[in-house]
Amino acid sequence: MPPTYTKMLNPTLPLPDHLRGNESGTFTEDSVVRRLPEIAHKTITDNGLESHHRERVEQLAADVNNGVILRVDEPEAGDFADWQGYVDEYEGLSWIDAPWFFAETYFYRRLLSATGYSLPASRSRVDPFELQKKTALDGALSLAGELGNSRNDIRALIAASLWANRVDLSLWRAGEGDIEARTAAVLGGSTERLLVDDTDRALGILESEGADIHIVLDNSGAELVADLAVTASVLDRGGKVTLHAKPHPTFVSDVTLPDLDATILRLAAEPTAAAAIAHTVARARTNGALQEKAHPFWVSPLPFWECPDDLVAEMASADLVVIKGDANYRRLLGDLHWEPTTPFPEIVRPLQPLLALRTPKSPVAAGIAAHVVERTTVTDPEWLTDGEWGMIQFADEVN
């Protein structure tokens, strides 16, 4: 009998260094010093913040480039103790000297604190990114109708779920032409732009009757619509699905449980095949075939191999765990400086079969053949960060 593991397994290789914002002239430097303050200022523009909240967000934007990592001063919040531990190692460092993944998750947690999200007041539980998410959903409704007509074709739905990851509001704002073009192109993703394609290794599980599938969600809007189409297709085959959302808003467009509710309600009201997706999902909510979770691990700065025991146990029943999107992929690899040719299963050692779907928007990758890396670098020097390429990667369970 193979061993039964109850804890996530570490990579078999020595760990390289973290990506950091102090790497001059890199995408990571730009992400910290330019993009994070821009997101803070956009939050002020999109929300009717009272003066004290506005001042705190403006101070956060200034701190990113001129301040240091501080403790999250919000003892009333449920995750206060967790964040005290996360900050311990980096307190007093400049934002660019801290690991990039930590800096980004920390920024979004601080942004929520600045807008009053976690405290009992006028903005308690008010999503500061709600306007952009609503705009993104508006633009995804025609896509939902098309996917509703393709619910029996799992391969096509997986492709749509992949290419919809191109629509990322932390990089491109909803309503901009680029977002609209990316949403419209979801159904036209080319297999020639796949850096890795392990679709066939996952199809047998996804198409089987009664499969138990866990999906770790990424972006709202087009991507969530595609993920719900995949969910409906699995449910139609008598399967079970657990959707893992974020417990609070983060990375602008990441799905929370209220986003799930809003999207399902919106699809149900459509006069197209989008409504069929919503009705299947709603029925499964009632009969227990669909579960929705929001574990705090998914908004932490921790790597996948530090997944807590209760979440490991929660995913233990899965026949397949689907990890969606760029930020979740960065967590899988610890957001470290791996060579792109490093074998994926040497880093990601899951306890259940795992499928990662991602269009790269950060310089983190593994499991790509050397000739593909060489060819793609010549074709598109920005291939790891421009969201124009796709990765469908499968990892067998460790046994």
**pLDDT per position as a tens digit, 241-295:** 999 999 999 999 999 999 999 999 999 999 999 999 999 999 999 999 999 999 9
d(CA 298, CA 185): 28
Burial (Cβ within 10 Å: 0-12, 13-18, ≥19) of residue 73? exposed
What CATH number does domain 130-395 carry, 3.90.550.10, 3.40.50.1580, 3.40.50.10880, 1.10.10.10?
3.40.50.10880
- pLDDT, one tens digit per residue, over 48-100 is 899 999 999 999 999 999 999 999 887 777 888 999 999 999 999 999 999 99
301 pLDDT band, cuts 50/70/90, is very high
Q: What gap in Å lies between CA 290 and CA 3, rounded to an integer?
A: 29
Is the whole model's pTM more than 0.75, yes or no?
A: yes
Q: Are 295 and 244 in contact (CB under 8 A)?
A: yes
Q: Give the separation between CA 292 and CA 274, rounded to whole angstroms.
A: 20
Helix pair angle (100-115, 80-88), 10° resolution: 140
Mean pLDDT of 196-218: 97
DSSP 186: G
Burial of 66 (0-12, 13-18, 19+ CB in 10 A): exposed
Does the pLDDT value for residue 174 go beyond 60? no
Chain centroid to Cα 347, Å, comes to 19
Can you give the residue ranges of every domain in the chain? Answer: 27-115, 130-395
Q: 188-195: list long-range contacts, CB under 8 Å, 24+ apart.
A: 188/163, 189/159, 189/160, 189/162, 189/163, 189/390, 193/388, 193/389, 193/390, 194/389, 194/390, 194/391, 194/392, 195/360, 195/365, 195/368, 195/372, 195/376, 195/383, 195/389, 195/390, 195/391
Asked if residues 222 and 267 have their Cβ atoms less than 8 Å apart, the reply is no
**How many residues make up the chain in this entry?**
399
What is the spatial distance between Cα 246 and Cα 259, in angstroms, rounded to a whole number?
Answer: 10
- Give the SS3 label for residue 156: helix
Helix axes 199-206, 222-236, angle to 10 degrees: 50
Residue 254: name the closest of 335, 330, 326 by CA: 326
For the chain, the average pLDDT equals: 93
The pLDDT assigned to 5 comes to 64
What is the model's pLDDT at position 77? 78
Q: Which residues face 215 on adjacent strands?
A: 243, 322
Residue 334: which of 365, 309, 312, 358 has the closest Cα? Answer: 365
Q: Is the pLDDT of residue 122 over 80?
A: no
E strands of the chain, at which residues?
194-197, 212-216, 240-244, 290-293, 320-324, 354-358, 390-395
Given a cut of 50, whether residue 213 has pLDDT beyond it is: yes
* Average pLDDT for 307-334: 97
Task: Specify whether the backbone of 293 is left (phi greater than 0), alpha (psi in -120 to 50) or beta.
Answer: beta
Helix 100-115 and helix 51-66, axial crossing angle in degrees, nearest 10: 160
CA–CA gap between residue 203 and residue 153 (Å, rounded)? 10
